[in-house]
Every structure is written in structure tokens, then in C-alpha cells.
Amino acid sequence: MPHPRIITFSRNVFLPLTTVCHNRCGYCCFRTPVQPGCLMEQGEVEKTLRNGAALGCTEALFTFGERPEQEPGFPERIRAAGYTTILDYCEAMCKKSIEYGILPHTNAGILTYEEMERLRPVNASMGLMLETTAEIPAHATSPGKSPDIRLAMMEDAGKLKIPFTTGLLLGIGETMADREDSLFAIRDLHKRYGHIQEIIIQNLCPKPGTALAHQPAPTTDEICATIRMAKDILQPEIAIQIPPNLIDAAALIACGVDDLGGVSPLTIDYVNPEHPWPAFEELKRIAGDAVLRERLCIYPRYIERGWFDAGLQPLINRLSQTVQERSGGL
């Protein structure tokens, strides 16, 4: 008898430590200037972690704008909060997350080998969206979106044995051939290091007031074709993830989707705030005939390989048991 198909998701909290960013992408509404409220205060971070733990969240997604210290006025803001750099703050909040019983996953834009090495002991996994290997006008004023720079960071993550999430952003000016090239680049990195646990196939949601405000959004058929291409190109162990709040996810499950990403019972999607997360009952409807199963932000094969700091072992063991028990009741 064939095994039932499994669709996974993680239960998370989304913590944007700062919205200040050195990039100026032509589709972004996440970035804000240096101003009051541009830094998530520690009290708010801890409140979110505490409430998230009470709701059974297992993943703390830490994000912030890329290289905010390069923006005038931000160094003063972070020093006023009691930290020298945003990386110091992130590391401290990751430690708080572990104390509250939630595994950290950091996606902070471009980091050096040394910076990732520093964050590795307090992160179960990390991530960086490749978006595209193409040079596109939407990235013309975003130095951190250089494909070579992003691929180099992903390679460093492989050298450090960091379980890693990456992905493509569809509809930002790339072609289907560019998407194919991006998938081959991810495949080749994973062939060398084996560290890519999932890739996100994410569609652009055009935002008013941005350069791509009137860009046609990718169609469901186009996204399905990209998912199928990813299945053909990538190694079978790499999960294909779609964001269930941005798309008709139920219509795409049959295209080869394995995962519905991090879904929060507490926090909004700060990158796409106009799109609320589906409730967990809705995830079951999206999964259709497949078995919906909760997972951690570090996939089982990396737990088995010991690709994490020894200090995280007790929490990983406890949360692995928790999601296993909860998945039995989904």
C-alpha cells in the first residue's frame, strides 16, 4: 500500500528586529527610514516570544533589513537600545528565544562567514532568499541583491553545515529561463554541501507606491510550472515550499508542493501585512488528501546528522517530541 503524501508546516512567531535596510528594492514596502519605532524593542520581542511559546510555537523567525548600520542615524538607535550592532541584538534575542523554548531561525540578508559562524550556536537553521540569479532593474539600487554575493553567502552556510532555506521570488522582472538558472545554482550548491533543506517558491505581491506596483502578478499556472521545474531540477530531499497566505495554495498542492512554511497563530506577515495567515484548520483544507504534519525549523535529517550546536540538543529533543505528538492529532 503506498505511503500517504505528507505536507508539512511549522508554527512560528515573526520578529522583525528592524525595518531599516541598506537595499532599495523596487518592490519592497518592508523597509522604512531610520525613525522612532524602526527597532523592535526588547520588551516587545520578549512579550512575543512568551506569548508564542504559550501558543505552542516552535520557531522564532528573526529578520531585519540588510546592513542597517550603513544607514545614517541607525548606529545611534542601536546603541541607545544597549547594543553595538544589530547582530549583537539578534544574537541576544536568539538566546532569549531559546530560554523561552522556541528555536531561532535567522534571515538577515547578507552575512559574512564569521557572522554566520557567530550566530550558528544560537540558531537551529538560517536562510537567505536567492530571489534570482538575473541582474534586474528592481535590484539596481540594492547592493546586497547581487546574485554572486548571495550565492557566496549560501556557499559559506554550506561550509558551516547550517541547515538552510532559500528560494525564488517570482514576478520581479526575471524570465522562466532565469528561474531555471537559479534552480540549477541551488542544485549545484546542495550537491557540494548538502545543506539546502527547503526552497520557497514565492510570488510577488505588488505593493502600491513601489516601482513594481503595476507589475502583473504571476499566475497560478506560471507558479505551478515553476514548482514542477524545481521538482525536476532539485534533489528530491529538498522540500518545495509555498506561502499559503499569498496564493491559492490548495490549487498548487498537486504541482509538487511539500511544505506550507512558517505559519503564525500570533504575529502577522510583516513583509506582506495585507495577507493574513490561514488558521491551522484552513491548512488542513489546503493540504487536501495529504497528511498535514507539523515540523521544526530544522528538518529531521539534519537533526540526525547533528548539524546544530550541542547547546540546542535538549530543546530540539523536547520540541521534536512535541510536534510528533501534535501531528498525531491533526
pLDDT, tens digit (0-9, with 9 covering 90-100), for 74-92: 999 999 999 999 999 999 9
Contact between residue 176 and residue 233 where contact means Cβ atoms under 8 Å apart: no
Contact between residue 262 and residue 10 where contact means Cβ atoms under 8 Å apart: yes
User: pTM of the predicted model, to two decimals?
Assistant: 0.95
Cα distances from 98 to residues 58, 122, 187, 311, in angstroms, run 10, 8, 32, 10
pLDDT of 3 higher than 80: no
Query: Which grid cell sits at 37?
Result: 519605532
94-114 pLDDT tens trace: 999 999 999 999 999 999 999
Strand partners, 166: 199
194-233 pLDDT tens trace: 999 999 999 998 888 999 999 898 999 999 999 999 999 9
Confidence of residue 31 (pLDDT cuts 50, 70, 90): confident
Q: Collapsing DSSP states into helix, strand and coil, what is residue 294?
A: strand
207-217 pLDDT tens trace: 889 999 998 98
* Locus of grid cell 539578534: 90
pLDDT of 270 higher than 90: no
Contact between residue 308 and residue 319 where contact means Cβ atoms under 8 Å apart: no
pLDDT of 311 higher than 90: yes
pLDDT of 4 higher than 90: no
Mean pLDDT of the chain: 95
Q: What pLDDT, on the 0 to 100 scale, is given for residue 329?
A: 56
Q: What is the set of domains in the chain, with CATH numbers?
A: 6-323 (3.20.20.70)
